[in-house]
Amino acid sequence: LETFVGHQVLRIKTRNEEQLKKLRFLETLDHLELDFWLNPSTPALPVDVRIPAHSLQAVKIFLESHGIEYSILIEDLQVILDREKQDIVASQQMERS
């Protein structure tokens, strides 16, 4: 099973169409391996994006240098995934017992 250690999910809030354009540009950079959970659409809606550990610094610097506001929704995706897996296993054990 692929792991997501160190992957973060950021919530990005844009203020105008110009900032949205910057995010759409980010989408085109394949080497960053970004996974947009909520795509850039309008400034009224947030953009959620999963960022692999190796791209985190570059993306955060990009956002900050363009004055784009963001917050961290999920600090480490693998922690949530591990919890989900544990819940499933526990539930299966309960069913058996």
Stretch that binds another protein, among 53-61, 62-70, 88-96 (CB under 8 A): 88-96
Write out the two tokens for 86. Answer: 């544990």
**Residues 53-72: x where in contact with another protein by CB under 8 A, - otherwise, as a string:** --------------------
| C-alpha to C-alpha distance for 51 and 34, rounded to whole angstroms | 5
Q: Of 12, 31, 38, 51, which lies in the binding site for another protein, with binding defined by CB under 8 A? A: 38
**Cβ density class 8-28: b for 16+ within 10 Å, e for less:** bbbbbebeeeebbebbeebee
16 binds another protein (CB under 8 A): no
Does the footprint of another protein cover residue 50 (CB under 8 A)?
A: yes
State the DSSP H helix or E strand holding residue 13, giving kind and residue range, or none if neither: strand 8-13
Beta bridge pairs of residue 8: 51
Residue 96, token pair as written in the block: 């058996």
Report, in Å, the least distance between residue 95 CB and another protein: 6
Maximum distance among all Cα pairs of the chain, rounded to whole angstroms:
57
Among 16, 17, 31, 42, binds another protein (CB under 8 A): 42
- Binding interface with another protein (CB under 8 A): 1-2, 4, 9, 11, 30, 35-39, 41-42, 45-46, 48, 50, 73-74, 77, 80-81, 83-84, 87-88, 91-92, 94-95
